[in-house]
Amino acid sequence: MAVVTVPEPAITRIVFGTTRLAWLWLILRIWLGWQWFHAGWGKVFGGDVTWQVWNWGDAQYSFTGDGNCGWVRSCVVIADDGSEVTVEVGDAVSGFAAGAVDRASFDLYADFLGWIRDSAHTWLGPLVAFGELLIGVALIVGAFTGLAAFLGAMMNFSFIFAGVAGINPVMLLASLILILAWRVAGWYGADRWLLPIVGVPWAHVDVQEE
């Protein structure tokens, strides 16, 4: 049986397959990366992170915050009634899943959330926390941009299916664009050297002078 190769349309080749718009993907990549980096920082280190240098040194931007409580570490918190409550690793994910079960878009995903709530939260909490941070770093430096955008999109899908919108639809759209532009989205970044090492996609490139 003959194999038919369908040529890539010129417009998609120019937009997603050349470095002509690599500067635009750089801007989009850094914005999306910052969103993930900011989300993951507090879950891993406890404090907040800010690009506003004049706020550096404030207590809330230290490593001593409790934002990682229930994500990567256990701790004791004071409940509304003044009693002490022990929060274990992953309880933040368990609480999120418990609240999202009734809002889930379909039954199969509701069952998945129930499994997270009851069993998987102990390892999924740290995985989500470090995953968000690492996705952010990868996107900012442009390392394996397409893969990082894909993993981020999967997390955005999960949040949306769980009934949480917020900025997730915007981040999802940005991720899908970067996935389409994966060949050149990291041109101004580490992918310019990483992708040729792993064999894609610039083993043989056409350089056109303008």
List, for residues 13-39, the tens digit of each pLDDT value: 899 989 999 999 999 999 999 999 999
- Classify residue 209: in a domain, yes or no: no
138 dihedral zone (left: phi>0; alpha: psi -120 to 50; beta): alpha
- Classify residue 114: in a domain, yes or no: yes
Q: Which two tokens stand for residue 51?
A: 């690009």
- Classify residue 111: in a domain, yes or no: yes
Q: Which two tokens stand for residue 86?
A: 């022990």
Q: How many domains does the chain have?
A: 1
Q: What is the separation, in whole angstroms, between the first and last Cα of the chain?
A: 41
- Classify residue 121: in a domain, yes or no: yes
pLDDT at residue 210 tops 60: no
Q: Which two tokens stand for residue 97?
A: 């899943």
Q: Which two tokens stand for residue 65?
A: 């915050």
- Classify residue 77: in a domain, yes or no: yes
Q: What are the Cα distances from residue 53, in Å, to 36, 38, 41, 156?
A: 19, 15, 16, 29
Q: What is the pLDDT confidence band of residue 208, given thresholds at 50, 70 and 90?
A: low
pLDDT at residue 166 tops 70: yes
- Classify residue 79: in a domain, yes or no: yes
pLDDT in tens, 71-130: 999 998 887 887 888 999 999 999 999 988 877 767 788 888 999 999 999 999 999 999
- Classify residue 203: in a domain, yes or no: no
Q: Which residue has the tokens 């907040």?
A: 48
Q: What are the Cα distances from residue 4, in Å, to 7, 29, 145?
A: 10, 34, 29
Taking the model in full, what pTM does it have?
Answer: 0.88
Average pLDDT of the residues in 181-195: 94
Computed over every residue of the chain, the mean pLDDT equals 88
| Residue-range definition of the domain harbouring residue 109 | 20-50+72-198
Q: Which residues pair with 69 in a beta bridge?
A: 73
Q: For residues 197 and 103, what is the distance between their CA atoms, to the nearest angstrom?
A: 44
Q: What is the pLDDT confidence band of residue 201, given thresholds at 50, 70 and 90?
A: low
Residue that wins the pLDDT comparison between 204 and 50: 50
Task: For the chain, state the CA radius of gyration.
Answer: 21
- Classify residue 12: in a domain, yes or no: no
